Amino acid sequence: METSLAHPVAVKAFWFGILSAVSLPLGAWVGIWTRPAERVTAGVMAFGAGALLAALTLELVGEALEKLHGVFWPLGLGCILGGLTFVTLNRILNNQGAFIRKTATLIRHVTQIKRRQASHVIDRLSRVPLLQALPPEEMHALVPHVKERQFEQGVRVVGEGDPGYELYIVEEGKLEVTQGGNIIASLGPGEVFGEMALLAGEPRQASVTACGAVRLLEIHKTDFDRMLRTNARLSEEVRQLSRSRRQHLEEMKETYSSAEWAALAKSSAEDSSFKPTATELREAVAEHHKEHGGGAPMAIWLGIFLDGIPESAVIGASLIGDAPVSMALIIGLFLANFPESMSSAVGMKKMGMSNWKITWLWASLCILTGVGAYVGNLTFQGAPVVMVALFEGLAAGAMLAMIAETMMPEAYEQGGAIVGMSTILGFLSAIFVKTIH
């Protein structure tokens, strides 16, 4: 058995790895200079994903089962381990900034932030007696209208006798409540003042002054009224509540505890309400770039490198034992890489990265894909069949996780309805190539 570094099969794996990944710099250049339509990019990406799914099934999983004569556990264990490894590393890198590398991961990151923020706001709203008297399943509509306000020490937040138009929930700090010049109470985190302003805008019964730096959540009557105009049921509930005023407020409250009310409000929120806008996505990129500076490009590079590891492993595994190369696999990888880099390069350009840096990033990943295919193939040449099947399972599992977590969400986010048929066409194309190969 030849084990030198110039092993011909390993060298062949290297070049096929390069061939499958040369579309990375090509796609980046196309993205930089032409900025193609998102639906075009999504269609090509879905086509590549479909081709990869077929190629993995036919060329890797199917052949591994044949080598094992139907024994399942090495391949199954490898797939699970490969998938878990990819998912774990992907999450770690996304937390470090790699989420910027793709539109789908960026949207997922911002959506998660919006969900956490909404959950926190609803927890705060659940402590407001006025709002607890209203249907919790309608309260998610109020979340976007809750604004954060900050006041410095000595600033009067509301004045006695002033018209009332805002409800406030204390987030941080301490406030002093005075009436007729006398201190009558103090307020701390989680406490509420100005409830009845949402119902009638009645004059303030006391003054509230910041005793230091404070952070408040504010709900303005105009936003509350705007929400009521679009929700007939909630509007009727508020009219009834307004007639009852304070003396009956506690009686009108639902029989929920604060925690139960909050849970119902959270569960009723539709997923579409958390979808970030284009402005929010740009702000997230700008904020992360400002906070992390030069670290963001490295995190992006590591994230894309992680995406490429399963690809190189799949190529190296597919050629173990001098098996003929699968053109369906190579074509699928080529087509999947092209729109990935095309889409990501546009985002990197918006972040302010230079053309040279973007080109270097994708070219280096192209070379590393070839190196990964070479090392993977060389390492497992002559290994026991069970070990080879385990390695092939690792590669297939990581690739499947990558397709599910990054490629398909990215394609659907940009392409919508065309993704289904594009995936099917890619899947059938890989099978057709197999029949003529």
- The string of pLDDT tens digits covering residues 407-429 is 787 777 777 778 889 888 888 88
Q: What does the block give as tokens for 302?
A: 């590591």
393 and 282 together in one domain: yes
Which range, of 28-32, 211-215, 237-241, averages the lowest pLDDT?
237-241
What is the full DSSP assignment across 166-220?
Answer: EEEEEEES-EEEEETTEEEEEE-TT-EE-TTHHHH-PPPSSEEEESSSEEEEEEE
Predicted local confidence at residue 299, as pLDDT: 65
Residues 417 and 282 in one domain: yes
The SS3 assignment for 45 reads: helix
Residue ranges of E strands in 205-315: 207-210, 214-220
Q: What angle do the packed helices 8-21 and 23-34 form, to 10 degrees?
A: 10
> Which of 214-228, 236-250, 374-388: highest mean pLDDT?
214-228
For residue 201, with 0-12 CB atoms within 10 Å meaning exposed, 13-18 middle and 19 or more buried, which class applies?
A: middle
Do residues 46 and 153 share a domain? no
User: Residue 43: inside a domain, yes or no?
Assistant: yes
CA 140/CA 159 separation, integer angstroms: 30
Query: Does residue 2 lie in a domain region?
Result: no
pLDDT above 80 for 437: no
Distance CA 231, CA 69 (A): 63
Question: How many angstroms separate the CA atoms of 136 and 122, rounded?
Answer: 9
Helix (H), strand (E) at residue 286: helix 278-292
Q: What is the pLDDT of residues 47-99, one digit of tens each?
A: 888 888 887 887 778 777 877 777 888 888 988 998 898 888 888 877 777 77
Last residue of a domain, one of 235, 252, 269: 252
Tell which residue, 220, 209, 225, has the closest CA to residue 174.
209
pLDDT digits (tens, 9 = 90+) for 290-328: 665 544 556 667 777 777 777 787 788 777 766 677 777
Examine the pLDDT at 135 and tell me if it is beyond 60.
Answer: yes
Q: What is the CATH number of the domain that holds 158?
A: 2.60.120.10
**251 pLDDT band (50/70/90 cuts)?**
very low
Question: Tokens 């057709």 map to which residue?
Answer: 432
> Token pair of 165, please?
């138009």
Give, in order, the Cα–Cα distances in Å from 363 to each of 18, 161, 332, 357.
10, 68, 19, 10
Mean pLDDT, all residues of the chain: 78
Look at the chain and report how many structural domains it folds into.
2
Note down the domain range covering 297.
8-112+278-436
Average pLDDT over residues 16-39: 86
Asked if residue 262 belongs to a domain, the reply is: no
CB within 8 A of 210, min separation 6: which ones? 151, 152, 153, 154, 155, 156, 157, 173, 174, 175, 176
Same domain for 286 and 248, yes or no, is no
CA-CA distance, 134 to 434, in Å (whole number)? 62
* Measured distance CA(68)–CA(291) in Å, rounded: 51
C-alpha count within 13 angstroms, C-beta hemisphere, residue 102: 30
CA distances from 197 to 146, 218, 276 (A): 15, 12, 30
Kindly state whether residue 169 falls inside one of the protein's structural domains.
Answer: yes
0.75 cut: is pTM over it?
Answer: no
Residue 126 placed within a domain: no
Structure tokens at 401: 């996780």
- With 60 as the cut, is the pLDDT of residue 149 above it? yes
